[in-house]
Copies of this chain bind each other. A is one copy, B any other.
Amino acid sequence: MVFSTQITINFGDTDPAGLVYFPNIFHYCHIAMERFFEEVCGISYSKLTGERQLGFPTGKIDAEFTTPLRYGDVIDIEITLSEIGNKSLSLGYKVKNLEGVVCADVSQVVVAMDLSRHASIAIPDSIRQSLSSQS
């Protein structure tokens, strides 16, 4: 199953060239990931990181930007969970514009972290089970 979510590109996200400043594309991916966790795990990423002190910082990320994104574009971000490791997750993002063109193709590895100790941990079972139903 593929999770997908829409984001509208705001004025403040774009640069003097009229294009999205590329670090903001990673910000969009993170927003999509937050929504993905809420949808799939049934717990908001704010509760996960706040109450449960469990976060998923990025260990590795590769991106290809093939079509520029512009102010006013509405984008669709599709997330695929390709691997669930002991302590990490592999996620893929396809960022499409409304014509369906893939503008950015992103692969990311995030690592489960106990935020109170800033140490990587095994992904808790409850989270793992929810995610497994998705992969």
Give the residues in chain B near A59, CB-CB below 8 Å.
64-66
Counting chain A residues whose Cβ lies within 8 A of the other chain, the interface size class is: 35 or more
The residue from B18, B26, B50 contacting A22, defined by CB atoms under 8 A apart = B26
Mark interface residues in A44-72 (1 if CB within 8 Å of B CB, else 0): 11110110000101111111111010111
> Within the assembled complex, what's the spacing in Å between the Cα atoms of A61 and B66?
12
| This protein's copies in its complex | 4
A30 touching B49, Cβ below 8 Å: no
- Pick out which of these stretches binds chain B: A6-14, A75-83, A92-100: A6-14
A102 beta carbon closer than 8 Å to chain B? no
Do B46 and A71 touch across chains, with their CB atoms under 8 A apart?
A: yes
CA distance A12 to B34 in the complex (A): 10
A residues whose Cβ falls under 8 Å from a Cβ of B: 10-12, 14-19, 21-24, 26-27, 30-31, 34, 44-47, 49-50, 55, 57-66, 68, 70-72, 113, 115, 118
